[in-house]
């Protein structure tokens, strides 16, 4: 009898998950834009240049600390930063999203520090707070990063 009840509970749980999956509302376009930002952040936290660049368009143009760079320049900048600092600890504030047709802008503040392991070591820890404005465009149905500006706060 116990095995039957366990099977019934498992079947009901499976049915509940399936119904939730079918009835949940799809993510909004703003949520999809935010997901791209979080994907880039996750790559930076793992110090993985490939993961950071995965959603970046070939048409990318960025600017930070007075320097302009393209996707290849971003790759070089990231590789140098990850070699120097390793994985990062990043806290992203609220991401404001504006969408106009197939173009979007995500604006947010981010606190970046050396990896969490470094945070428990003796201070000082290298840390920065930045304001980012990231532009995106729909390419092949997906949001791709086409530009970014960053300024330290």
Q: Which string of b and e fits 95-113 if b means at least 16 CB within 10 Å?
A: bebebeeeebebebebebb
Upstream peptide bond of 70 is cis (omega within 30 degrees of 0): no
The pLDDT score that the predictor gives to residue 147 is 96
DSSP at 143: E
Q: Which of 33-37, 64-68, 139-143 has the lowest mean pLDDT?
A: 64-68
Report the first-to-last Cα separation within the chain, whole angstroms.
64
Full-model pTM: 0.78
Q: Tell me, which fold does domain 27-152 have in CATH?
A: Nuclear Transport Factor 2; Chain: A, (3.10.450)
Region 3-18 average pLDDT: 72
pLDDT in tens, 104-113: 999 999 998 8
Q: Pick the more confident residue, 55 or 87.
A: 55
pLDDT in tens, 101-147: 999 999 999 998 876 555 555 555 677 889 999 999 999 999 999 99
Q: Which string of b and e fits 2-24 if b means at least 16 CB within 10 Å?
A: eeeeeeeeeeeeeeeeeeeeeee
Q: Choose among 138, 132, 119, 152: nearest CA to 40.
A: 132
Could you tell me the residue ranges of all domains in the chain?
27-152
Residues 6+ apart with CB under 8 A from 51: 39, 42, 43
Percent of the chain with pLDDT over 70: 85
How many CB atoms lie under 10 A from the CB of residue 84?
9
């Amino acid at each position: 009898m116990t095995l039957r009840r366990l099977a019934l509970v498992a079947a009901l749980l499976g049915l509940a998950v399936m119904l939730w999956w079918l009835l949940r509302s799809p993510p909004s376009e703003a949520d999809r834009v935010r997901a791209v930002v979080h994907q880039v952040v996750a790559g930076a936290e793992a110090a993985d240049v490939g993961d950071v660049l995965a959603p970046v368009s070939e048409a990318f143009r960025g600017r930070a600390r007075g320097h302009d760079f393209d996707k290849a320049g971003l790759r070089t900048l990231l590789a140098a930063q990850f070699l120097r600092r390793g994985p990062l600890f990043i806290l992203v504030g609220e991401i404001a999203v504006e969408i106009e047709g197939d173009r979007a802008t995500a604006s947010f503040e981010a606190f970046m520090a050396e990896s969490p392991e470094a945070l428990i070591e003796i201070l000082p820890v290298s840390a920065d707070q930045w304001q980012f404005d990231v532009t995106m465009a729909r390419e092949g149905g997906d949001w791709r990063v086409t530009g970014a500006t960053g300024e330290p706060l």
